[in-house]
Amino acid sequence: MSVKEKLNNMQTSILVMIVFILPTLVLSSHNNYPLSMPSCNDNSCGDIRIPFPFGTTRECYLTIQFWVTCNRTDVDHPKLFWGESEVEITDIYLDGQMRVMQYIAEDCYYRNGSSSSNNNPWIELATYFTVNNTANKFTIVGCDAYALVSGTRLARSFTTGCTAMCSSEADLTEGSCAGVGCCQTPIPQNVSRVEVEVKSYSNYTDVWDFNNCGYAFVVQDTAFNFSKDNLTNLSNVIELPMVVDWVIRNGTCEEAKTNATTYACVSANSECYKPTNGYGYRCRCVDGFEGNPYLSKGCIDIDECAATNHNNCTMKEYCNNEEGTYTCSCPDTHDGDGKGEHGCVLLQKKHNMKIAYVLIGVACGIITLLLAIILLYLELKRRSRRKTKHKFFLQNGGDKLQEKLATREASPDMVTIFSSSELEKATNCFHDSMIIGRGGFGTVYKGVLADRRTVAIKRSIKVDLTQIEQFINEVVVLSQINHKNVVRLLGCCLETDVPLLVYEFINNGTLSSHLHNKAKANVLDWNTRLKIATETAEVLSYLHSSASTPIIHRDVKPDNILLDHTFTAKVSDFGASRLVPVDLAQLSTMVQGTFGYLDPEYMQTNQLTEKSDVYSFGVVLLELITGRGALSFDRPIEEKSLANYFLSVLRQDLLFEILDENIVGLENMEEISVVSVLAKECLNVRGEDRPSMKEVAMELQGLILGGKHSWARINNVHDEEEMESFIRIEDGMSHFGNGDKNSSVEYDSISRDHILLPTDGGR
């Protein structure tokens, strides 16, 4: 090794020793309270003070475990040792810790094939002493080394270890001890004996150029910070500091207090406590006192008012020291408790502050009063809203609906009574952006319920309070309709001025919006239209003959036939429907419906029958095969009414001229002809001459299944002139609609929530 390298190593060694020794010098404070027994003059060794229970002679230490010796061979640097051992002590603290120097284990290999090692350095502690498991770390330094630390804890053996590897100096990181060049691991609690051993995996053959030794040691965590230079300079360091915990005696505080002769906390202002690490007990001075609690007069009062001590008096000169504490005061020109930044206030300033406090108090009182008024107003408003909701709930028949539901067994199909707050959240307080349909009798909103179901919510404009009983009956019955082609009624809300009806949401708009839009009509080929007609007929047949209570829809039209994404028909808008009494074949009611679809017989007689739905469905069939609306005010007078015009062209055998060009084809003309004749049958003036919806559904099903025309009375002779006369009646009445193709007749039921969806709307 060159002279320059030796000098560098010596400088490094000196720096390492300074780092290790400096904390000891700083922590060895010289306080003014007694540390040793009064009869002991030998209470220090160089800069290291020796507090009782430690001592160098029998009269100076408590028990033999606390015996220390001072080697003054080097007058300038005497060393303190633990009894007669070679364990050097660098500091002793009354809080139960002691710093000792621990040897480093070393294992080296040289180019000439020789090796040297200093393995198995050990330290064995006396009773009451253990290695601190939080302040120390077992550390290994090297690039081809593994090390073990073993020993005794709680009268049993233990072993743990660590490995340090690297392939080049570039792998090393300053300050990092995670396994590359350096590895650290904690040691267990209550360790009384430590033995260290370090070995090499391959005699450093792969890292010979920069490292040929491995080092292992137990060291105080704050006293060692890994550096790349440690691979070489640790060979010049013999020992490193390690922290040892001590207790005054074994046993708990409660056990110790029972024996006055051996109880160690003898100072008048001391207390016993259990240490965090180790076992046994220790003593300390209570708050406000400092010193050695193991001496009879060891804990003395702390003068918090001394210049070097801390206190929180506003004016330091007015700090008054007392036994175990202190007080603060203010001069005569000031007032206050004397503590903190504003503890002393000039009397005039205090007067101003009192005024400020009064003003602040008044302001706080006013604010509190305003908050109380606001809270009272909000509570009264909440109660008023709750009372109003309850009033509407009763007014809309909520109690009657609950009674009817209570008589039924609970089932998934049972109608749900929603709260108004639920539907407000679902529709963002019925915001305009949620509107998907608007008509003369109300508005339809799209909503998303708390369970993430998308629904359509119908909100009426007005309600007939005389029909509440009928409305409740219809809600209960309609909620029981379980048909795949019916828009299901999920429930209602009765806490608003008018009832809100909640339906399942259908996302592809109405049949009308597809038929009367050129772009969308191209998608509706003949097979799709025939399927829609069949599904609609099946629904009406189900309502008339298969439902638990027969139901007349009363407003069958393309606007009330919704389509889903697969173009499956969903019949909707049962707001105008009527339940058919068991003992009556027909109902007498004010005329209600949409012009162009109204049954002529119903318009003349006010007698509503199931055949009224048949007539309306016949007009729907016409729209499916012609693509025209039921009423077209922009066409010539003879073409204004689709039903009238259809009969005219059918009589002239010119049906082909009014067919929708999107469905015309040689392969389906026979089916179109059959549907045309079926529509003609549905449009008979007299209801008794029309087929039932069950017969209509069967006929359409036969077409889809490829069957032959089974029952349609093609050759039946009808009074077409009589039919045309009734159609003209309807045609004349339609002028009251002011040109609106969807104009509706007023009616007498709570079902005045009949709503016309826009052509591009969906539910």
Q: How far apart are CA 675 and CA 681, in angstroms?
A: 10
17 Cβ contact partners less than 8 Å away, ≥ 6 residues apart? 237
Beta-carbon count within 10 A of 175 CB: 8
Rounded Cα distance between 163 and 138, Å, is 11
Whether residue 179 contacts residue 163, with contact meaning beta carbons closer than 8 Å, is answered with: yes
Tokens standing for residue 291: 């010193």
Long-range contacts formed by 16-22: CB under 8 A, 24+ apart: 16/233, 16/236, 16/237, 17/237, 19/223, 20/223, 20/240, 20/241, 21/90
- What are the start-end ranges of the H helices in 160-251? 230-233
**Residue of 188, 187, 196 lying closest to 117 (CA atoms):** 196
Catalytic residue list contains 209 = no
Burial group, residue 107, by CB count within 10 angstroms (0-12, 13-18, 19+)? buried
Cβ-Cβ contacts under 8 Å for 663 (sequence gap 6 or more):
524, 525, 526, 529, 625, 672
- For residues 152 and 192, the answer to whether their CB atoms sit within 8 Å is yes
Residues 172, 185 contacting (CB under 8 angstroms) = no
CA quadruple 255, 260, 263, 267: dihedral sign: positive
Contact partners, residue 188, CB within 8 Å, separation at least 6: 133, 153, 158, 160
Q: Which amino acid is at 594?
A: T
- How many angstroms separate the CA atoms of 595 and 744, rounded? 6
Residue of 555, 599, 613, 731 with catalytic role: 555
Report the C-alpha gap between 746 and 123 in whole angstroms. 106
740, burial (CB in 10 Å: exposed 0-12, middle 13-18, buried 19+): middle
How many Å separate Cα 269 from the centre of its chain? 54
The Cβ of residue 567 has, within 10 Å, a number of other Cβ atoms equal to 16
Point out which residues pair with 160 in neighbouring strands.
149
Alpha-carbon gap, residue 688 to 609, rounded angstroms: 10
Tokens at residue 572, please?
Answer: 């909707």
Quote the CA–CA distance of 549 and 477 in Å, as a whole number: 7
CB neighbours of residue 401 within 10 Å = 23
d(CA 630, CA 406) in angstroms, rounded, equals: 44
State how far the alpha carbon of 149 is from the alpha carbons of 156, 157, 425, 504, 738, in Å. 14, 11, 67, 74, 102
Q: Which residue has the tokens 């003949």?
A: 526
Report the distance separating Cα 191 and Cα 277, nearest Å.
11
Contact predicate 750/470, CB 8 Å: yes
Positions marked active-site: 555
